[in-house]
Structure 1
């Protein structure tokens, strides 16, 4: 019983530390009803710095971390963000650490946001390398990284996980359409709710992502070169 209590306490500490997202600095607040939360380009003009969020503790649940950061951002009216690295003693930026990082929050007028189109992003969230095929060309994406490819408007792209029971999707990007974003997950085993009492197996899923969440992942994941 004592061992169980210790294990439970450790798990609680791990879960708590993985979800520590603090609004550590507030310079200004802004009134707006923008639902989006896009990544800020370095050269964006008229972006107003509002404050800063710090993420403490690593979590595999990136969607949860994003939702916590998003909530803090909306408390002060932010609609754009940028990673802000910690600095070494000599003032040089430290390498990104997924267990502890800062996110600078901004308000950027919609008309100043740069349109982003002509690219396809594919994120790998699993703990192992993910192999996929795009129009019969094979790629390997490392854990917590993403592949960025140029796409041609009007051309059909077939994305496959190349596995038994895996997923296949087809897209046809349009001219001046926003970038497209997908996330690939590994083998999933879940209970069968059809009444037969068995298991559903799927060797790989391809899921379309909302732009705000995808741009957050593009900031905290590593880009994998084709």
Structure 2
């Protein structure tokens, strides 16, 4: 398999697909296409699909997973494709109620929280001082903390992650953890403990180290929103 991702410092959707692929336990080749570079222009133009042997359109976005004839170009679709391939229990809780909650949380993360995304672009390397979220962004933050609280209190008894063991929900909320750390968002103790567990996970540590070694800088993501 091949996984094409963007800059590790900035690309939250790439982080989700990368964590999902790591969680699958399958071997894969990682291809980083820096956003804003020549290869990025080729990807947006559709030329990279043909160059990598793809047979389906990726819409010029990352992440993209290639597995033989299969081409998957959405982070949630990548996770579900891998879950079908290796067994869904590797990603989703076995308990029916927990699994339903996890799926709803992942779907909400996939489609919502536009204010948080806009005001707090992922920047793993940076720590922003004095960030003041808008009312809409504060609403997103409170909603996420509420989701985390429900998952941890109802289903998190088996470990430090949202549903105890690391799974799909953690894959999708890992970039939020990075955002909360970068923008120094104040959180209650249970959330701080969860964030620490995510941040210290060996895969996250590998991603963080790689992001710190990247030379690419995208200026628009280096300043907190006013």
TM-score (norm 2): 0.26
Larger Rg: 1
Which structure shows the higher strand fraction? Answer: 1
Which structure shows the higher helix fraction? Answer: 2
